[in-house]
Amino acid sequence: MLIVMKHGATEAEIAAVCDRIRERGYTAAPMPGAQRTAVGLVGNDGRVDGSAFEDLPGVAEVIHVSNPYKQVSREWRPENTVVTIAPGVAFGGREVPIIAGPCSVESEAQILASARAVKAAGAVALRGGAFKPRSSPYSFQGLGKQGLELLALAKRETGLAIVTEAMDDAGAELVAEYADCIQIGARNMQNYSLLKTVGKLRKPVLLKRGMAATIQDLLLSAEYLLAEGNGQVILCERGLRSFDTTARNLFDLTAIPIVQQLSHLPIVADPSHGTGRRDKVLPMARAAVAAGADGILIEVHPQPEKAISDGAQSQTPEQFTETVRQLRLIAEAIGRRVATLALVAGLALAGAAVRPAVVDAQSVPAASAADSAAFALLERAAAGYQSARTLQASFTQTLTNPRTNVVLRSSGDFFQRGTEHFAFRFDDPAEDRIVADGTVLWLYLPSAAKGQVLKVPRAAGAGLDLASSLLREPRRRYTITSLGDTTVAGRAVRAIALRPRTPDSPFTSATLWVEPAGALVRRVQLVEASGLVRDLTFVTVRTGGSLPEGVFVFNPPAGVRVIDQAALLGGSVPTRPPGAR
């Protein structure tokens, strides 16, 4: 059941509804929306009397969810859920990410060769099984923990997100330490103990449809994950077992639009398992993107004829490269685009994932005196940044993955003139550069993508500056709490916590440390939807002065491949550096 609140319902009125739900032995799930807040009632196994809620202050209506699956349904959440498995790798939005790699991790040489090949072709995530459920007990079962360590090695070398399968409760805990996304395979789709365990891990999950499962079966399995508090679920169509033996499975592409009508969760397609035949992967991948799939999984092996498992359905690196090229054309034709790793890496370093959201002004509750003062300080800071002719700052940044305890550090200088010119000059990593020259955004990040530079039309990189990213219209976009006064880099600052009002925000919370004297932001900490924690400190900040000559000019180094994003989306990308043979 859903209790929909009125426009302008106060926090106290929402809390009263939650209290009434808990008094009756159920769980309350508040869901702030772009227009109003809804509160879900979770835990009922039958119809609940809605009259107990209809007369509460602030309640607009009570909606009974008719499907046996509740939190998964469109009735529960009309907006699409966007699941982010790693910085910039998101399913359910406009971009179509591609996950690729071998069926199983066989050796260090094999998984590294696979990772390099699929990254070069355009994948943004690496698949590969460390634990393999096989029909025969005598078949290869995977390398186990060693396989996970090899996947982690491949991630460190290529920057690809990792998607790999968990088979049991103990294995799920281990997989969660290494993977960005836990896969639950077709054979385990209705392993309810495993679903409950994985749901509690709060890790993105890719849930494959069982070989004989109905769409309702799939959605009810997803409900187990959401019932444990994990809303980061990606569904996957991988084919059904049928009476026809011509192909390995019947690839049910009608499931894609049907699931998208019934559920807010993203759904991806696996044409490798869906057909079981290498020569049928390309046409069915094209069809899946055309049908609206939110992502594609493809098995790729450097030498399919020598693969320990599923070699017959694994593409060669050359076939996969052609598949990605054609998928870009299909995606563009339907108003979407295939995600690219170079763009993901660059925007993650630049902090561009923070985007403005539109919120109805009537839904903004009243703030306390301290919070009102914090709002006013943020508005002064926004006005200052927007009016400043120039900005120069030195910064340090840490990116922390709390699940793997991996910490990445960077430092350097930031320069900005207006909103069309800015540059990051990194001291560490020393060669990395990000430059917006007023026409083109250049992303040269050899620490993440060696031997290439991404050239992005300026419109695609708009809003990277700090003011546009975080400070614009704070009263409309955030719930704000003043955390009091402290110091950063020897400066007196006020700490302000921000929570986005829209559920599709790429970050779940943020804290800004703002210097009241000059209304300058001295530190930013973001907790992104993927769990990544970004902590950026501005050691020095200066506005209005002159900037170094040529700071907004970037000339690609000799021998570096220039990837033009416009050409990339159109499918005509140079495959080697100019002059290479």
Quote the pLDDT of residue 421. Answer: 84
Per mean pLDDT, which range of 54-68, 333-347, 408-422, 460-474 is the poorest? 460-474
Q: Is the pLDDT of residue 446 over 70?
A: yes
The domains of the chain, with CATH numbers, are 2-63 (3.30.70.1140), 83-339 (3.20.20.70), 352-419+466-549 (2.50.20.10)
Share of the chain above pLDDT 70, in %: 85
Write out the DSSP string of 185-206.
Answer: -GGGTT-HHHHHHHHHTT--EE
pLDDT in tens, 40-75: 888 776 778 888 898 899 998 888 776 778 889 988
Q: Is the pLDDT of residue 369 over 70?
A: no
Burial category of 474 from C-beta neighbours within 10 Å (exposed 0-12, middle 13-18, buried 19 and up): buried
CA distances from 501 to 73, 107, 358, 364, 378 (A): 21, 46, 9, 9, 16
Share of the chain above pLDDT 90, in %: 37
Q: Is the pLDDT of residue 454 over 60?
A: yes
Quote the pLDDT of residue 351. Answer: 41
The label of the residue with tokens 């499962």 reads: 213
The label of the residue with tokens 């508090």 reads: 229
Residue 495 has φ and ψ, to the nearest 5°, of -85, 130
Q: Is the pLDDT of residue 556 over 60?
A: yes
Burial category of 369 from C-beta neighbours within 10 Å (exposed 0-12, middle 13-18, buried 19 and up): exposed
pLDDT in tens, 211-244: 999 999 999 999 999 988 898 999 999 999 989 8
Q: Is the pLDDT of residue 205 over 90?
A: yes
Separation CA 399–CA 298 (nearest Å): 30
The band of 569, judged by pLDDT with boundaries at 50, 70 and 90, is very low
8 Å CB contact between 420 and 458: yes
Mean pLDDT of 316-335: 94
Instruction: Give the chain's mean pLDDT.
Output: 83
Q: Is the pLDDT of residue 354 over 70?
A: no
Quote the pLDDT of residue 456. Answer: 80
8 Å CB contact between 185 and 168: no
- Using DSSP's 3-state secondary structure scheme, residue 339 falls into coil
Quote the pLDDT of residue 566. Answer: 58
More confident residue, 503 or 58: 58
**∠31-36-41 over CA atoms, to 5°?**
35
Quote the pLDDT of residue 257. Answer: 95
Q: How many residues are there in the chain?
A: 581
